[in-house]
Amino acid sequence: MTLNFLQVPVIAVDGPTASGKGTVAQRVAGLLGFSYLDSGALYRLVALAALQQGVAPDDVGRLAALAAGLKLRFAGDRVFLDDQDVSAALRQESVGNMASAVAVFPAVRAALTERQRASRVAPGLVADGRDMGTVIFPDADLKIFLTASVQKRAERRCKQLIEKGFPANIAILSKDLQERDARDAARSVAPLVAAADAVVIDSSDLGIDAVVDQILERARRAGMGARGGV
């Protein structure tokens, strides 16, 4: 059976930085046989391109042009920008912080909207970000808002960065996370906020598997198991 675009099921996983969204969303997508959208990577790519080309964080016109013209390619867990493998560079905190700064501009967000919606392909999509359930896929079949305490998120991000060979300091990370959350939540367009119909999961004291199980259970209840093959 061919599904039209709006019949393709979507699970939106939103939440603050370092809440575990990426790991959880990828795991759920893999188990359901769905595609995975890392929308944060798009904002990070704009940020990285801006840093590489010396574009100022308030030069909206050039930032929007960069967003509209991104030549990117995803291959498994690798990300290529202009055929250059930028997977590691994208994960740097400086790039994440710049991404949060460029993401406040409506013109930048608008330039990335269609690219995100185009990833809605059968048999289904798990989309991870800040506004998946509120703006990009407001009709998502299941909306999850994944959060965790600042302390836990700073610890997780610290571990992640050290594993990737980047320097990390928990006190600085904790301050940066709070500043980033405040900026993401305060912006006037597509702020970081749980959709009214989202299921809020606090993962402070839950492991990845427990969160994944909760989401799969809700996906089954929303009728996604049958279509997704689980």
Binding site for ligand DC (CB under 6 A): 17, 39-40, 43-44, 96, 99-100, 103, 129-131, 180, 184
CA proximity to 190, closest of 103, 120, 124: 103
How far is Cα 44 from Cα 41, in angstroms, rounded to an integer? 5
Query: In Å, what is the CA distance from 99 to each residue of 48, 90, 185, 224?
Result: 8, 10, 14, 32
Nearest approach, Cβ of residue 148 and ligand DC (Å): 14
Q: What angle do CA 168, 170, 172 make, to 5 degrees?
A: 85
E strands present in the chain: 10-14, 35-38, 72-75, 78-81, 84-85, 125-129, 142-147, 199-202
Is 47 or 227 the residue whose CB approaches ligand DC more closely?
A: 47
Nearest approach, Cβ of residue 220 and ligand DC (Å): 26
CA 226, chain centre distance (Å): 26
Nearest approach, Cβ of residue 2 and ligand DC (Å): 28
Is 7 or 110 the residue whose CB approaches ligand DC more closely?
A: 110
Nearest approach, Cβ of residue 3 and ligand DC (Å): 24
Is 109 or 227 the residue whose CB approaches ligand DC more closely?
A: 109
Is 154 or 227 the residue whose CB approaches ligand DC more closely?
A: 154
Nearest approach, Cβ of residue 18 and ligand DC (Å): 7
How far is Cα 27 from Cα 219, in angstroms, rounded to an integer? 13
Is 42 or 215 the residue whose CB approaches ligand DC more closely?
A: 42
